[in-house]
Amino acid sequence: MIAATYPLVRKLLFSLDAEVAHHTSLAALRLSEKTGILQRLATPAPTASPVKLMGLTFPNRIGLAAGLDKEGNTIDALGQLGFGFIEIGTITPRPQDGNPKPRLFRLIPHEAIINRMGFNNPGIDAGVANVRASRTFNGPIGFNIGKNKDTSNENAADDYLICLEKAYPVADYIVVNLSSPNTPGLRDLQAADSSARLLELLKSSQEKLTAEHGRHVPILFKVAPDLTESQVAELAKVFLDGGLDGLIATNTTLDREKVASHPWANEAGGLSGKPVFDKSNRTLAGFASAFSKQIPIIGVGGISSRADAEEKLKLGADLVQIYTSFIYQGPRLVRELATL
């Protein structure tokens, strides 16, 4: 029933400022879940064969990408819509407000979004507490972690290590976000030598935390779709040599070629949605070829149909995630992808 009524809900939400609509919809989901209304209205997602990957069991291949539930306080409600796994964040060691508003823009004719949120989040301690409070979702929960804006790149590893240590007891996997375009200088950490040093430090900490907690929590890196072929090749070697557990390909793009006609095309921030699909796929295919199935890949970027998701899997992804298309299409798309 929720899937059927979403076009009307979307019309209402799209009449609001994009960020206001974001917070309103998440608050409504939480309220409907707590009162039991969501469970009565949500049609159970079609059953799928579970997928075993990175030592985890995923009820289905479709996940929610980071950026929607930044705080990790809507996990149970989102889980009732059919997602097989949910990634929260990006979360930083200390709370931060993010960039000045307005910072979220809908490019409706392109089914796209430009955001320059800037890692607005309540901090890692609040994120951990929220995940501990979730009760009904039975799929893997990922923590997408980043550095605070006022932390220099020279000290970025300290921020990632803080988040890794604090999230480790409750996370099912942890994603190192090196590719958001909305924190100044962050993408510089994608350079091969910087990534190699950071990965070495994180893997060393992971080994100690595994012994301490008696569980291995996979570490993944999330990369940009704007990498060149040579950068992909260099990073792939770093990830293979460094023992990376998994890769998320990709984040948002800075490229505006496919939305150049839109009046908001020149707004600063990362572009997501349909226009990033082809560019994201090229990056995904490059890593998949280099990895030869040695490192699992979660494909994300521009998926707006089952055929799009199948293309990601064909190119080498093991799982897929959505975000922008969920805003435009709602729960119907989740159900459509749940049987991949």
Average pLDDT over residues 14-32: 97
Neighbour count for residue 98 (Cβ, 10 Å): 17
Distance CA 227, CA 305 (A): 25
Asked if pLDDT for residue 308 goes beyond 80, the answer is yes
The amino acid at 166: K
- pLDDT at residue 1 greater than cutoff 80: no
Instruction: Summarize pLDDT for 146-166 with one digit per residue, the tens.
Output: 999 999 999 999 999 999 999
pLDDT band at 20 (very low <50, low <70, confident <90, very high): very high
List, as residue ranges, the binding site for substrate.
70, 115-119, 177, 182, 251-252
Interatomic CA distance for residues 284 and 302, integer angstroms: 12
- What dihedral angle (degrees, nearest 10) is formed by the CA atoms of 98, 101, 107, 111? 40
Q: How many domains does the chain have?
A: 1
Binding-site residues from annotation for FMN? 66-70, 90, 144, 177, 222, 250, 273, 302, 323-324
Give the range of the structural domain holding residue 272, as residue numbers without chain letter: 2-337
Q: What is the pLDDT of residues 245-288, one digit of tens each?
A: 999 999 999 999 999 999 999 999 999 999 999 999 999 999 99
Burial letters for 266-304: b for 16+ Cβ neighbours within 10 Å, e otherwise?
A: ebebbbbbbbbbebbbbbbbbbbebbeeebbbbbbbbbb
Q: What pLDDT score was predicted for residue 47?
A: 76
The pLDDT of residue 3 is above 90: no
Task: State the average pLDDT over residues 205-224.
Answer: 98
Is the Cα dihedral 128, 217, 295, 146 positive or negative?
A: positive
What would the mean pLDDT of 219-229 be, rounded to a whole number? 98
| CATH number assigned to the domain comprising residue 14 | 3.20.20.70
| pTM for the full predicted model | 0.97
Query: Do residues 192 and 239 lie in contact, with contact meaning Cβ atoms separated by under 8 Å?
Result: no
Binding residues: 66-70, 90, 115-119, 144, 177, 182, 222, 250-252, 273, 302, 323-324
The two three-digit tokens of residue 265, written as one number: 């095309």
Q: How far is C-alpha 30 from the geometric centre of its chain's CA atoms?
A: 20
pLDDT of amino acid 117: 98
- Reply yes or no on whether the pLDDT at 242 is more than 90: yes
* pLDDT tens digits, 186-203: 999 999 999 999 999 999
Enumerate the active-site residues: 180
